[in-house]
Amino acid sequence: MVRIAVFGGTGYAGSHILRTAAERGHEVISYSRSVPAETIAGVSYRAGSIADPAVVAEAVSDAEVVVSAVSPRGAMAGATAPAIAVLAEEARRTGTRLGVVGGAGSLLVAEEGPRLLDAGFPEEYKPEAEEMAGVLDALRETPDDLDWFFVSPAGGFGAFAPGEATGSYRLGGDVLLVDDKGESFISGADLALAIVEEIETPAHRRARFTAAY
């Protein structure tokens, strides 16, 4: 059993991570700006923002692995990257493993590039993609004693296309994964499975990975 804290636990990715981790017997704590009316069995809920250093310190000191599933939109636009930087430093100081759920925009469309966000990416989502790409760049510059992983979901990942749990997925590195039809997709449940299995059996230390079908 691993003690896991998740920031953004009421969001699409975060709630799937909570559910999967709890179902697999882990001790799970959700942090979000408010506690939801409907909760997931086996999950402890706490109100608190990733932008509050005191909350970050509490979460990190209380967990073996802390995951940010916060999206840089709304009030968190422009504030997510600085908050994750504080989270990363606190995790480094305490020896806590850090996971970050980023977007697909920073993935390469092929081995030699370009990035997905530089290849016809929707303009309305570019600021979010750029901010999370900056988070990845910053993590790669952190001291070697910070144990982190960064997850870029498939291009079609999101609440707009929830999909179903299949219990399977493919993993990749910095290049967008596509199927034989050229499509890139993974359900919320299966991305969460990939993340929780990475927590259970670390295979990507100080590295980014992607997951898709």
Question: How high does pLDDT run on average in the chain?
Answer: 96
Q: Quick one: average pLDDT of 33-59? A: 96
Per cent of the chain over pLDDT 70 is 100
Per cent of the chain over pLDDT 90 is 95
pLDDT at residue 96 in the model = 98
At the top level of CATH, the class of 3-212 is alpha beta
The CA-based angle 68-158-203, given to 5 degrees, is 50
Q: How do residues 115-163 score in pLDDT, each as one tens digit? A: 999 998 999 999 999 999 999 999 999 999 999 999 999 999 988 888 9
Q: Quick one: average pLDDT of 16-34? A: 97
User: pTM to 2 decimals?
Assistant: 0.96
Q: How do residues 157-209 score in pLDDT, each as one tens digit? A: 988 888 999 999 999 999 999 999 999 999 999 999 999 999 999 999 999 99
Say if residue 114 is preceded by a cis peptide, omega within 30 of 0: yes
The tokens describing 141, both together, are 């510059």
Count Cβ atoms below 10 Å from residue 79 Cβ, excluding itself.
16
pLDDT at residue 162 in the model = 87
Residues in the chain: 213
Count Cβ atoms below 10 Å from residue 49 Cβ, excluding itself.
20
Q: How far is CA 144 from each of CA 92, 140, 147, 205, rounded to the nearest angstrom?
A: 9, 9, 7, 10
Distance from C-alpha of 60 to C-alpha of 67, rounded to nearest angstrom? 10
